[in-house]
Amino acid sequence: MSALVKKLIIYSMVGLMQMGLFVTAAEASPRETEMSRYEDRHDHNRRQLEREKEHRLREENRRHEHEMRRRPFESKRAWHERQKHENERHRRAIHEIMRMGHHGINKGL
């Protein structure tokens, strides 16, 4: 009978220790409200960044469209040369806008 009592005491102690570890881990974990506030802030920042990206893309596309038009008294050769440079500048600008928010980059045009 004493062996049965010893096993019962040991298993009870092991169970209590496991329960204690669980309670400690549960107390150390962040609260749901803390996580939801963080997630809300993160979502707000992400939406704001997306709105800014869309705005900059629209502005860049408007600027690009204006620059691609032939100017009065501009030769065809000069116009094509300017278009070539403008297309390259536009490609780089779009690339920078799309990278906004990645790797800490938050540059303007």
- The per-residue pLDDT for range 66-105, each reduced to its tens digit, is 999 999 999 999 999 999 999 999 999 999 999 987 654 4
Tokens representing residue 65 in the block? 């469209």
The whole-chain average pLDDT of the chain stands at: 83
pLDDT reading at 106 higher than 60: no
Tokens representing residue 79 in the block? 């116009």
CB 99 within 8 A of CB 105: yes
pLDDT reading at 29 higher than 70: no
Quote the pTM value. Answer: 0.56
* Predicted local distance difference test score (pLDDT) of residue 56: 95
Q: At what angle do helices 32-68 and 76-98 cross, to 10 degrees?
A: 180
Phi, psi of 58 (to 5 degrees): -60, -45
